[in-house]
Amino acid sequence: MKKYRVAILGATGAVGQEFLNLIEERKFPFSELRLLASSRSAGRKIAFMGKEYTVEETTADSFAGIDIALFAGGSASKDFAPHAVKAGAVVIDNSSAFRMDPEVPLVVPEVNPEAIKRHKGIIANPNCSTIIMVLGLKPLYDLAKIRRVVVSTYQAVSGAGKEGMAELEAQVAALSSGKDPEANILPVGSLPKHYQIAFNLIPQIDVFMDNLYTKEEMKMIDETKKIMEDDSLRITATTVRVPVYRSHAESVNVEFAEEVSLDGARAAIAAFPGVVLRDNPSAQEYPMPLFTSGKTEVEVGRLRRDESADHALNFWICGDQIRKGAALNALQIAEYMIAHELV
């Protein structure tokens, strides 16, 4: 089997580390691995698959000879993706920089793999919450036209990076010992006001837009339409940060143009790649972050008719947003390209 020269930009962060875990776990065929990060992390040593790698500072010249560049996300994407493409690499980017660019495919491989073939050097990974939701929507969309989606998310603190997880841990420890917790990260580190996340929920992820939705909510709306290639979809979202370390959960209400049977919906979801149906109310079996953390598949349950509307269903979906919501989705795009000789 041919092997590929791979670079990981953001190798020391949570998504970068998950890239490494998955490359080993999935036996991704690489001949060279270049670990890149900011100047702060340059020089750090990372042991991986029996070899020690030194993290390099990312520069415009870091991508010479690279076939596949996996970008973990962040502001560096916009700066360095053009240099990587110019050097001949295919960039699979986890940031929001290129997602809504009409020239850049936005891809979930189980949902719209055909879009990969349209790339011009950059392929965008969707927002983590979008990836999880569309994996539940696509099998239903294939049964009947979807008119409207109402989604509320329950997003883990690791979505805010290692700092979000550390802050939750520190706050729980402080409160458990009778001390006042410090809040410096959530909802948004750069904003003037921060709230405790321990034993609390924060109904803000990212900044507010002019329409009073948050940027995260608008990402879910706009990205879903692009992935499904259906601008007629009506979607509304409310995104909430919850005191869970890992795995996002979402409550999704779907209204169809025609009747969809519960049995038909259940069968379609169960048969869809990357999705596990965990739905047995009588045995109290349903998806939870506890079950999906560290897993490659998302889980769907609590499937039921909406008693308040015609042709509508509700479901609950959970997925590991660092795995399938970020690193795994990007790596699956690379695997698809290798399998179809697109790289």
Nearest to 186 by CA among 198, 171, 201, 196: 196
Tokens 């950059």 belong to which residue? 122
Which one of 248, 311, 318, 340 is the catalytic residue?
248
- Beta-sheet pairing, 90-93 with 68-71: parallel
Output the CA torsion 188→101→210→240 (10° steps). -40
34: helix, strand or coil: strand
Which one of 119, 128, 311, 318 is the catalytic residue?
128
Tokens 């410096």 belong to which residue? 184
248 tagged catalytic: yes
- Residues in a beta bridge with 202: 241
318 tagged catalytic: no
- Scanning the chain, the segments in alpha helix (DSSP H) are 14-25, 76-86, 128-141, 162-176, 215-228, 262-271, 289-292, 328-339
Cα 308 to Cα 266: distance, rounded to the nearest angstrom: 20
- Scanning 70-151, the segments in alpha helix (DSSP H) are 76-86, 128-141
Residue 190, Ramachandran bin (φ over 0: left; ψ between -120 and 50: alpha; else beta):
alpha
Instruction: For residue 265, give both structure tokens.
Output: 């919906």
| Catalytic annotation, residues | 128, 248
